[in-house]
Amino acid sequence: MASKKKKKSPAKEAMTTVVVMRLYIAGRAPNSLKAIANLEAICRRHLKDTYKLEIVDVCEHPRRALDDGILVTPSLAKLSPKPGANVIGNLSDTGSVLAALGVNLKLAT
């Protein structure tokens, strides 16, 4: 007897995908602190435990920022899943951040 594998529904598959991001900030600059707070709120509300976030302070690691092509902070880079995306600014526009991350608002709410 052949066994059938159940396909995950698109909603469940979207919820189990881990979004890998890197946020570049400039020390304790006001926009950097806002970007961290806004991104943490977005992740807490919409991504729950399905994300990995690395925060890179370009004041402490300028070479890394240059190697990654970062010229402006704060800057969020979505690394995975593909395609990658970048968002510049304090990340106060939740809809734009979620769109860049590939998160469907209907699934995320």
Single-letter amino acid code for the residue at 39: L
- SS3 label, residue 15: helix
Q: Is the pTM of this model over 0.95?
A: no
Q: Tell me: the pLDDT tens digits for 57-104?
A: 999 999 999 999 999 999 999 999 999 999 999 999 999 999 999 887
- SS3 label, residue 77: strand
> How many CA atoms does the CB half-sphere of 107 hold within 13 Å?
16
Handedness of CA 16, 82, 24, 31 (dihedral sign): negative
- What is the C-alpha to C-alpha distance for residues 69 and 12, in angstroms, rounded to an integer? 34
